[in-house]
Amino acid sequence: MMNNPHPISDFLVPGKRAHLVGIGGVSMCPLAEVLHGMGLCVQGSDMTESDTVQHLRSLGIPVAIGHNAENLGESDFVVRTAAVHDGNPEIAGAVARGIPVYERAQAWGAIMRHYPNALCVAGTHGKTTTTSMCTHIFMAAEADPTVMIGGTLPLLGSGYRVGKGDTIILESCEYCNSFLSFFPTVAVILNVEADHLDFFKDLQDIQRSFRRFAELVPPAGSVIVNADDESAMTAVAGISHPVITFGLDHPADCTAANLTEADGRPVFDVMIHGEKYAHVELHVYGRHNVLNALAAAAAAHALGLPGSAVEAGLASFTGADRRFQHKGTWHGAEVYDDYAHHPDELHALFTTARGLGYQRLVVAFQPHTYSRTAKLFDRFVEELKLPDAVVLAEIFAAREQNTLGISSADLCRNIPGAVYCSTLDKTAEALRRIARPGDLILTVGAGDIYRAGEKLLAGV
């Protein structure tokens, strides 16, 4: 429908007027700021007022509330988020007037070409944490990076920063092949699992997409891949690009030596090609975070950063927002929140949580999207049998309609002792009934399940 005759790069020049639909979004706000800094006239629209919208206005970027074709004004081109569809009045209005419409990923991809170093972190899970670790490392190196993360990082106070250095760091999502619009000089592949099966046909289709992502790297760049993830290694098998592996269980270029724990947190030496590169003391838990740290360290090494930056950066990293985030204490039980929404993520989270010494693990889980719940149903049931007590909130629809007729109640019937709750208020009430002193309570999911934990803590 868009059929743009010119690449978006033709429009990324000073004086051109860009209209961003959904400008207040987590990756649209930094895009607006970057384009503004490049000398473009930036404007946009969003459905609601927010701190982000106020921030953009403070920079002189006008933002309309609500979507209306009249908001387009004299725009030269339009950029939209994935959540904005062809029927949106501003998109339809742009097409009717012949104004080119581009995807957010296309804009970031074109911007990326202005940076000598483009570090793109991809994978089915672990992207936000690893991108955040990379950000801490590059900030510790005083490299002044531009950053785009899919979650809030306390170091930045947001999910992004606009720097003036020669490096851009982006969390890179495979959904709808978005990351194939990027131009990485370093591509990190953390893992490749069956997910987003509302778009991809099967695991082999996903592997092909990740392979195409790896092949975007220029000959002088690096593809950094998890040697412990068979599917990721399959995705890059035989490519001509330079591949750097990281791992713990299989031979790898970057690995951990002398791995121990201090108060449950991993301590280890990062070894690259058999040489000690950095000594790392993490302040986040779990074996999966050792792998995330190795991926970040391998990327830093590939881009010429000293090991001291890895040491300082990872020492200051305490986790991204909604990644095993401590929310408070309720009657002797500790309440945490996590974004995990894929069975592999649940397994890593529950395994880590079980090793922390709490009397019981109590989980309130909110599945994310009907298609994922249906396609991975048996896997979810398997992992949700690991906690001592499970409360299931209703599925978070996100971008979908429930054409499959599936509910969290279906999961509940297959998990002994599980409790189904149709609302978050009922979820909080169920946690209130179940919780005991000494419990670790986890609210888990990519939707708004965190509100149940907040309601519990607030006593509402």
Which residues have a catalytic role annotated?
A: 127-128, 171
Distance, CA of 173 to CA of 348 (rounded, Å): 20
Q: Residue 224 belongs to what H/E stretch? A: strand 222-226
Cβ–Cβ < 8 Å for 216, 183: yes
Pick the closest to residue 19 from 66, 60, 53, 62 (CA basis).
62
**Residue 292: how many other CB atoms lie within 10 Å:** 31
- What are the residue ranges of helices labelled H in 149-283? 203-214, 230-236
Q: Residue 77 belongs to what H/E stretch? A: strand 77-80
Distance, CA of 228 to CA of 192 (rounded, Å): 11
**Residue 47: how many other CB atoms lie within 10 Å:** 13
Q: How far is CA 126 from the centre of its chain?
A: 7
- Burial (CB count <10 Å: 0-12, 13-18, 19+), residue 13: exposed
Distance, CA of 380 to CA of 363 (rounded, Å): 13
CB neighbour burial string for 400-413, b if at least 16 within 10 angstroms, e if fewer: beeeeebbbebbbe
